[in-house]
Chains A and B, each alone.
Chain A
């Protein structure tokens, strides 16, 4: 057990240390989500107008962008594994007397801290884009962001265990992740789209993570509010609650994390 804990903190420590030292990466990782918010917020708000009674487009998309920020940030766990492999440092890690599970969890912890940091920077901007924040809201948000982060970090490492090059990893991310993100209800409510898109979105577990965060922002009951423009996710006529959404993400996270640890331990 000691080997697991040592692995977690040592790996997380080094990833964070390195993040702080690489200023350009640190800055750009915070700039990206900002850009998204500004472009989507300013660009679409006028055109689209209200999504549901009392919810305009920026209020709709803002929680989605927070979720997306954490999602994308968490995938960096995989990129950092591929980096370390390419530049040799992974061998230093793999021959150290630490458990492989600890290493995976450490990468996850380090990445989650950074991804959550990115998420929080976005949160600070809430008043500027006209979204109300309360301490209670932030408290509810943290566990949701953590489980989303852990799940996606697991996915990143799972993919990275098979990849030998950065290019390969980035390509795979584009093929798998981009569609997942775009079909997760970040940019549109998943109930009022063509059936194929609706089915795809509802199969996509990320949809539930995004929905949970949006519900926390827009308040209890928002899920079923809004008549024709229902923004909550309904499955077989049942509208998902925050807890049900969270459960889906937890199950997803457990599966991805286990798979990541198994794949990472098997690699040579």
Chain B
């Protein structure tokens, strides 16, 4: 039986369909990524899986337990790091952890050793007695990860675990996540909009407007685009298109004056192509497609503009307090 099973799951808020009839499974021990733009329905899906929201249609189970009928068992099976912080800032890190241990009925005999181990894992052992209000955004996230693991869950949900953090902190959080994955038989379900982070996942689901539009390994998703991406600039773009059609039977696209197309093996294609090209080559570039390209291809729009969205900026502000 798979760790997470979702079948025809929907959630409507009034007229708005936040999650629209999605189905997928996540096997035990996988790092599964949920990739999608703002408002795609990622958090809503997590809220249903963690029993905070009731679905308006379909069913879902975690660790074999139904999220509606067996809430307590689901709650015992999961650890959570929400998109927005859920720590008590007025208490110390230790007090927050102890609260969690009490709330989940972690036996006193193992509580303190687990707290010690986890705080070492997230490298906060020397800040345990400090109030959380004195923590930075990255430290709060790491503390939340430690807390989410305190009761030994079978699956850890991470909703945008690195949003608004600097690159070093992001890398460190990922190191922690990948260590965890090796050490324990832990399933990790995370959402992100950083494409480079999605690459760490064993499989990713791309979600847009509440619907899953693709689900596979990052490599398969990129391969599905038809190999490497070639972008070229020519003095005569129309001539270049005609030439490509004639010699290779390729129908390229033009974006901002750049001619783009895919070929299975860019490295061997390029020398031969350049030698025979007649339409006045100005520049040419070959690269492996990224998940950005996958997303653009599937949805027709970029996942998130380079600059961070309004909501994210607000969240960052909240978090840095």
A6 touches B103 (CB 8 A): yes
Contact residues, B84-107 vs A (CB, 8 A): 84-91, 95, 99-100, 102-105
Quote the shortest CB–CB distance from B41 to chain A (angstroms).
16
A203–B171 alpha-carbon span in the complex (Å):
64
Q: Does B82 contact A (CB under 8 A)?
A: yes
Among B84, B104, B131, the residue within 8 A (CB) of A96 is: B104
Among A21, A87, A95, the residue within 8 A (CB) of B51 is: A95
Instruction: Fill in one digit per residue for A1-36: 1 if any B CB lies within 8 Å of its CB, else 0.
Output: 011001001100110011001100000000000000
B91 touches A17 (CB 8 A): yes
Q: Does B23 contact A (CB under 8 A)?
A: no
Q: Does B72 contact A (CB under 8 A)?
A: yes
Quote the shortest CB–CB distance from A227 to chain B (angstroms).
54
Among B75, B85, B88, B105, the residue within 8 A (CB) of A95 is: B75
Q: Which residue of chain A is the closest to B131 with respect to CB atoms?
A: A21
Q: Does A133 contact B (CB under 8 A)?
A: no
A98 touches B95 (CB 8 A): no
Chain B residues whose CB sits within 8 angstroms of the CB of A98 once the complex forms: 103
Q: Does B250 contact A (CB under 8 A)?
A: no
A204–B88 alpha-carbon span in the complex (Å):
37
Q: Does A97 contact B (CB under 8 A)?
A: yes
B99 touches A97 (CB 8 A): no
Q: Which residue of chain A is the closest to B157 with respect to CB atoms?
A: A95
Among A2, A90, A96, the residue within 8 A (CB) of B103 is: A96
Interface size range of chain A in the complex: 20 to 34
Q: Does A89 contact B (CB under 8 A)?
A: yes
When A92-B86, A268-B54 are in contact, do A97 and B105 touch as well, CB less than 8 Å? yes
B82 touches A91 (CB 8 A): yes
Instruction: Fill in one digit per residue for A95-110: 1 if any B CB lies within 8 Å of its CB, else 0.
Output: 1111000000000000
When A6-B105, A13-B102, A21-B91 are in contact, do A91 and B52 touch as well, CB less than 8 Å? yes
Quote the shortest CB–CB distance from A14 to chain B (angstroms).
5
When A95-B50, A97-B76 are in contact, do A10 and B91 touch as well, CB less than 8 Å? no
B75 touches A22 (CB 8 A): no
Chain B residues whose CB sits within 8 angstroms of the CB of A88 once the complex forms: 82, 84-87
B52 touches A95 (CB 8 A): yes
Contact residues, B102-147 vs A (CB, 8 A): 102-105, 131
Quote the shortest CB–CB distance from B173 to chain A (angstroms).
19
Chain A residues whose CB sits within 8 angstroms of the CB of B242 once the complex forms: none
Chain A residues whose CB sits within 8 angstroms of the CB of B52 once the complex forms: 91, 94-95, 268
Chain A residues whose CB sits within 8 angstroms of the CB of B78 once the complex forms: 95
A22–B88 alpha-carbon span in the complex (Å):
12
B90 touches A21 (CB 8 A): yes
Quote the shortest CB–CB distance from A164 to chain B (angstroms).
14
Q: Does A93 contact B (CB under 8 A)?
A: yes
Chain A residues whose CB sits within 8 angstroms of the CB of B50 once the complex forms: 95
Quote the shortest CB–CB distance from B244 to chain A (angstroms).
54
Instruction: Fill in one digit per residue for B44-70: 1 if any A CB lies within 8 Å of its CB, else 0.
Output: 000000111110000000000000000
Q: Which residue of chain B is the closest to A92 with respect to CB atoms?
A: B86
A90–B87 alpha-carbon span in the complex (Å):
9
Chain A residues whose CB sits within 8 angstroms of the CB of B90 once the complex forms: 18, 21-22
A14–B88 alpha-carbon span in the complex (Å):
10
Quote the shortest CB–CB distance from A264 to chain B (angstroms).
14
Q: Does B240 contact A (CB under 8 A)?
A: no
Q: Which residue of chain A is the closest to B77 with respect to CB atoms?
A: A97
A18–B80 alpha-carbon span in the complex (Å):
23
Chain B residues whose CB sits within 8 angstroms of the CB of A90 once the complex forms: 86
Q: Which residue of chain B is the closest to A13 with respect to CB atoms?
A: B102
A98–B72 alpha-carbon span in the complex (Å):
8
Instruction: Fill in one digit per residue for A57-81: 1 if any B CB lies within 8 Å of its CB, else 0.
Output: 0000000000000000000000000
B104 touches A97 (CB 8 A): yes
Among A2, A9, A96, the residue within 8 A (CB) of B75 is: A96
Q: Which residue of chain A is the closest to B89 with respect to CB atoms?
A: A87
Quote the shortest CB–CB distance from A80 to chain B (angstroms).
11
When A3-B72, A21-B91, A97-B104 are in contact, do A91 and B54 touch as well, CB less than 8 Å? no
Q: Could you list 5 further interchain pairs (A-B, Cβ under 8 angstroms) beyond the known A22-B90, A91-B82, A95-B52?
A: A3-B72, A18-B91, A21-B91, A88-B82, A96-B100
Closest 7 CB pairs of A and B: A96-B103, A97-B75, A88-B86, A92-B86, A10-B102, A91-B86, A97-B72
Spell out B's residues near A (CB within 8 Å).
50-54, 72, 75-76, 78, 80, 82, 84-91, 95, 99-100, 102-105, 131
